[in-house]
Structure 1
């Protein structure tokens, strides 16, 4: 479960569900008894005499919010009776808002009875819940991640470091700068000369000076010429077991950099922040660091 999969819309939906839960314990109806001493006690949403207020307004809205949020942690394409969990949550949220609207305008036709604080807050919470849940998949501002990627601690002299971020200048993992920002020593070339093998310098008497043996070239890395790189996904993508089985071990979320350590055909072996490795089968639209 990756909490970074949650969106801003999910945060609003969760807040509306909390408000709805609080409203269920407040007075659902208000009585204007004047100077009468026999004024009935204002009921809350959990009172049996208000049935079906509890299941159709309060519980329906809370369950709808739970379905929308839980859908973020489920693999893409998983459906229940032909609909995804988010779609079921949106439908239930619209039902709860519709029930709240009819209840507040179609209550008992008595002058002394008016909507209570709990009933008014329930209507507001269910309307916000239904609208945001329906607009989140289609609104970029609501689809944005709720939590940004973690910022690494600054290194000395302001050099960025930390897991999950590509090195400056496109350097690959493991190729960090020299201590205190010093560059590796390089052989100087005469002005305008093309890089190439070192030329023999004449000694006294015209004899060329002996040249050192050429430095040995490092052997190519095993497994081909693949070089690890950082990447980010445009939408939530499931990460399956590295052995190719259909078991999902994690979910990659937008706004976070992950490390690709191996390529298998069109798929990538990716490593998460906590060190888990798995197979990313859908690599379309990924952004390389």
Structure 2
């Protein structure tokens, strides 16, 4: 009867407890990140940006001005315009290439990431070349000094750079550069703004009569002053994170050195780092006061 009910049974299909547990772990695991293909070590977007920059760099040596048939200078010999026109995109493309070839190299410019800096660089270059091309349109009726075809070509190339930097996350294929990136802590300059607290009100004077000056009846000003918080040194038995106002780790204190606590707020200590930064220690249990 047992064979009739359950049918044929293969002993090789018996699963062990470890195999069942492994199957549960696989089911609970996060979906794998799909591979991103490109050209060599670079993504397709980075290769396109490199090609746009190369063409813009070559055309930048051609004259940008013409006056009554006489060819004028290029953008490299017209003051410091070359910084906005071609130097910023050059720096952006260099940083994009350096990020791929040396992941531990420069990752940001000030508070801007490399992709953010590239967006700003190509946007600035696009504004410059658009304004230069507009001068050509304005100079056509008079026939005086005007820009050459270089301004139009550079405008198209700069706008292409804007598309593949500013609007790249919206594009179907080129947006893969920005998807499935690992999460990381933001640079201090790129973190959310600290809330602005109102300044404390100035202490109001309290007037008390002086017994020695009863006949002139002049008041004596007595200022109320709140007691200043007493700072002290504290030693943690193990490394503990000191957080900023947004809850992100700022620095650590531990058993190797004493930490300066400038204010005791009960369940939270205000700790000052040796470089002047202030943070909040939420785990205040087991601290040794000095």
Per the normalisation by structure 1, the TM-score is 0.42
**Max radius of gyration: which structure?**
2
Structure having the higher helix fraction is 2
Indicate the structure whose relative CO is greater, using CA pairs within 8 Å and at least 6 residues apart. Answer: 1
